[in-house]
Chain A
C-alpha cells in the first residue's frame, strides 16, 4: 500500500524558532508537494519539487524553504516561525505518469506557533 509519512502529527513551537517538517514517501514518486490547509481557505501550495534537488515556489512561499536531497524525502523549513504560520501542513507526492491531479497525501502535521 502506498504511503506518505509525515514525521509529526502535532507540533507546538515558539515564535522565532526554526521548524523542520519532514515527509517521506515509499512509492518512488518524482513529484512532491507541501500544502497548508486553513479553514475556509482550502489547500494552498507552498512549494513543490519535481526531482531531487529541484524546487519551485508555489502560491505562498514567503517564510518557508524546502530541501530535497533524496528522492523519497521532502522537508519544509520555517526559517523563523510566526503565529500566522499556525496551520495544518500536508505533504503529497505523485508521478507524472499518474497525473498531477492524483496526489497521495500524508496525514498532516498540525503546527501551532505560540
Chain B
C-alpha cells in the first residue's frame, strides 16, 4: 500500500528562522510528487510538482527538492504570512486519477 508520511506534525518558527519540512513516501512507481499550502478555513492551494530525483523547484521563500525516498520543503527566512499547513501528495504510475496525501505539517511563524 502506498504511504506518505510528513514530519514534523507541527513546526513553530521565529521570523527569519529557516527550516525544512519532510515528506517521505513508500510507493511502487512514483509518477509525481506535489506540494500544497492550506490556510485555515480554505482548500489546499497548489505549490509545486516534482517528477524525478534531483529535481528542485522554487517560489519566493519556498524550495522543494526530491530524492528517491523523500521530498523536502525548505522555508528560507520565513515571514508570518508563511504560516499555513503544508501538504504533500504523490501520484503513482498505475493511477491516472488518484493522489495519496500526507497528513500535513502545520507551520507557525512568529514575528
Chain A interface residues toward B at CB < 8 A: 4, 31, 33, 35, 40-45, 48, 50, 56, 58-59, 90, 92, 99-108
Nearest chain B CB to A44 CB, angstrom units:
8
Known pairs A43-B44, A102-B34, A106-B43; list 8 more (Cβ under 8 Å): A33-B97, A42-B4, A42-B103, A43-B87, A58-B98, A100-B91, A101-B49, A102-B46
Kindly count the residue-residue contacts between A and B in the assembled complex, taking CB atoms under 8 Å apart.
61
Instruction: Report if B42 contacts A (CB, 8 A).
Output: yes
User: What are the residues of chain A within 8 A of B96 when measuring CB–CB?
Assistant: 100
Instruction: Report if B41 contacts A (CB, 8 A).
Output: yes
Chain B interface residues toward A at CB < 8 A: 4, 32-34, 41-46, 49, 87, 89, 91, 96-99, 101-104
Q: Are B99 and A45 in contact (CB under 8 A)?
A: yes
User: What are the residues of chain B within 8 A of A59 when measuring CB–CB?
Assistant: 98
> Can you identify 10 A-B contacts, CB atoms within 8 angstroms?
A42-B101, A42-B104, A56-B97, A90-B44, A99-B49, A101-B32, A102-B34, A102-B49, A107-B41, A108-B42
Nearest 9 pairs of A and B residues by beta carbon: A105-B43, A101-B34, A42-B101, A43-B101, A42-B103, A101-B32, A102-B46, A105-B44, A106-B43
Q: Are B91 and A101 in contact (CB under 8 A)?
A: yes
Q: Which residue from A42, A44, A101, A108 sits with its C-beta under 8 Å from B43?
A: A108
Measured between alpha carbons, how far is A35 from B49 in the docked complex, in Å?
20
Given A99-B32, A103-B99, A42-B45 contact (CB < 8 Å): no
User: What are the residues of chain A within 8 A of B103 when measuring CB–CB?
Assistant: 40-42
* Nearest-CB residue, chain B, relative to A50: B97
Measured between alpha carbons, how far is A106 from B44 in the docked complex, in Å?
8
Measured between alpha carbons, how far is A24 from B107 in the docked complex, in Å?
30
Measured between alpha carbons, how far is A50 from B33 in the docked complex, in Å?
21
